[in-house]
Amino acid sequence: MAKYAVPRGTKDILPDETALWQRLESACRRVFGLYNYGEIRTPIFEATDLFARSIGVSSDIVSKEMYEFKDRKGRSLTLRPEATAPVVRAALENNLIGPDKLTKLYYIGPMFRYERPQAGRQRQFHQAGVEVFGSADPLVDAEIILLNLQLFQELGLNDLSVNLNSVGCSVCRPDYRQKLKEYFHDKVKKMCADCLNRYETNTLRILDCKEAGCQAALEGAPAAVASLCPECLAHFQAAIKTLDYQQVNFVVNKRLVRGLDYYTRTTFEIIAPSLGAQNAISGGGRYDGLVETLGGKPTPAAGFAVGMERVITLMTNDAVPAGQTARMGRQECLMTNEGDIILYLVTLGEEAKKLGFDQLVKLRKKGISAEIDYLGRSLKAQLKTADRLGVKYVYIIGEAELKQGQGILKKMATAEQKEIKFDSLEEEIKL
């Protein structure tokens, strides 16, 4: 017998399995690239305070699960339990985030949480995630969910369910917290010790309790969406409308509060029921206050992370044959290298943007990398971004084009322009 064993809650990934991991990683890179996200790699450990301030001192992650240690100079460091806070830190430190700028980043790597190990829950696990900074547009919320689903679709994962909620903002959340406190006031004494503790420290998290004895009380709890301020409600409705239009199957789950305190407005999780107790294969949402909390200018942001071990389990269970993992094979994909964006959709006005977003979704589904403006910028600024991205084409949709059911396609290399019907765009650029 070997003298040493792998640490509890960790796993060796052996050659038999690494092939599957490589397939997963390359699908992530391909799909994230398709949506114009660039890779960032941050250190495995960070100052402990970074996580305490962002995830929240009363969260389970910070209060119970951190791998915290002192270095030889006595500084408190922590193995990263997640990557959103490190990405914000790095983006701020390297001036990647700025006013009037959309920044899209992705990462793949190990995370560490001192949790009770069980099927689907480890102490060292891996996440692949994306973060987008600079836009509060609900289309961004829809984009990240569509991106996440496209990734899972490429991997051949079936029977997934999208859970959606809105946890509001600093204006409406206190009101919701108060409503929860009133609701649980008489009930909490009969609930578990964690609920009792959360009632005082982090009331929203009571909703996440999995104890059988607490479920009856949770059933009747008020929903966050009923307490949203008009702005948050409109934002949530707009995100839902886009997802509906894009035929995403989702349920609004009023108990989806997530385990990290930085979320505002949209939160979501994608569930694979076949996995049993630990069935969330990804989770994320909007976190409009975090950049400011960590010392930057107010910057809206959103993102999600995929639990890679759980996805690997599904890939193993679903036994997708090698070479067929990707529904959209590399050969069908127009994208050349990661980060090469083929087409930029220039839109002028809200209506044009909605239509442009639909075109964007269609192109990406076909493996054509494309990007759009989420910042409501001028024609000139959008063209400048297209230029910076080095796209082959821009497709311009303004008021006049909208009425005519066509846009102006400009080939960047020759500056040649022609009017192309919305329906014919994909065919035209494939030529």
Residues at the contact surface with ligand HAM, assessed by CB under 6 A? 82, 84, 113, 115, 121-122, 125, 127, 129, 131, 259-260, 280-285, 287, 303-305, 307, 309-310
Query: In angstroms, what is the minimal distance from the CB of 80 to ligand HAM?
Result: 10
Q: What is the 3-state secondary structure (H, E, C) of the chain?
A: CCCCCCCCCCCCCCHHHHHHHHHHHHHHHHHHHHCCCEECCCCCEEEHHHHHHHHCCCCHHHHHCCEEEECCCCCEEEECCCCHHHHHHHHHHCCCCCCCCCEEEEEEEEEECCCCCECCECCEEEEEEEEEECCCCHHHHHHHHHHHHHHHHHCCCCCCEEEEEECCCCCCHHHHHHHHHHHHCCCHHHCCHHHHHHHHHCHHHHHHCCCHHHHHHHHCCCCHHHHCCHHHHHHHHHHHHHHHHCCCCEEECCCCCCCCCCCEEEEEEEECHHHCCCCEEEEEEECCCHHHHCCCCCCCEEEEEEEHHHHHHHHHHCCCCCCCCCCCCHHHCCCCCCCCCCEEEEECCHHHHHHHHHHHHHHHHCCCCEEECCCCCCHHHHHHHHHHHCCCEEEEECHHHHHHCEEEEEECCCCCEEEEEHHHHHHHHHC
- Between residues 125 and 422, which has the closer beta carbon with respect to ligand HAM? 125
CB nearer to ligand HAM: pick between 271 and 343: 271
Nearer to ligand HAM, 115 or 340 (CB): 115
State which residue, 183 or 250, has the beta carbon closest to ligand HAM: 250
As measured in angstroms, the least distance from the Cβ of 408 to ligand HAM is: 36
Burial of residue 332 (CB within 10 Å: 0-12, 13-18, 19+) is: exposed
**Least distance to ligand HAM, CB of residue 267, Å:** 9
Question: In whole angstroms, how close is the CB of 226 to ligand HAM at the nearest point?
Answer: 24
- Closer to ligand HAM by Cβ: residue 42 or 382: 42
Cβ-based nearer residue to ligand HAM, 296 or 307? 307
Work out how close the CB of 186 gets to ligand HAM at its nearest, in angstroms, rounded to a whole number.
31
Quote the least distance from Cβ 283 to ligand HAM, whole Å: 3
Q: Which of 340, 325, 335, 306 is nearest to 109 (CA)?
A: 306
In whole angstroms, the minimum distance from the beta carbon of 144 to ligand HAM comes to: 8
Q: How far is the CB of 112 from ligand HAM (least distance, A)?
A: 9
Of 55 and 397, which has the nearer Cβ to ligand HAM?
A: 55
- In the bound state with ligand HAM, the residue whose beta carbon lies nearer, of 27 and 260, is 260
- Measured at CB, which residue is nearest to ligand HAM? 307
Question: Closer to ligand HAM at the Cβ: 133 or 344?
Answer: 133
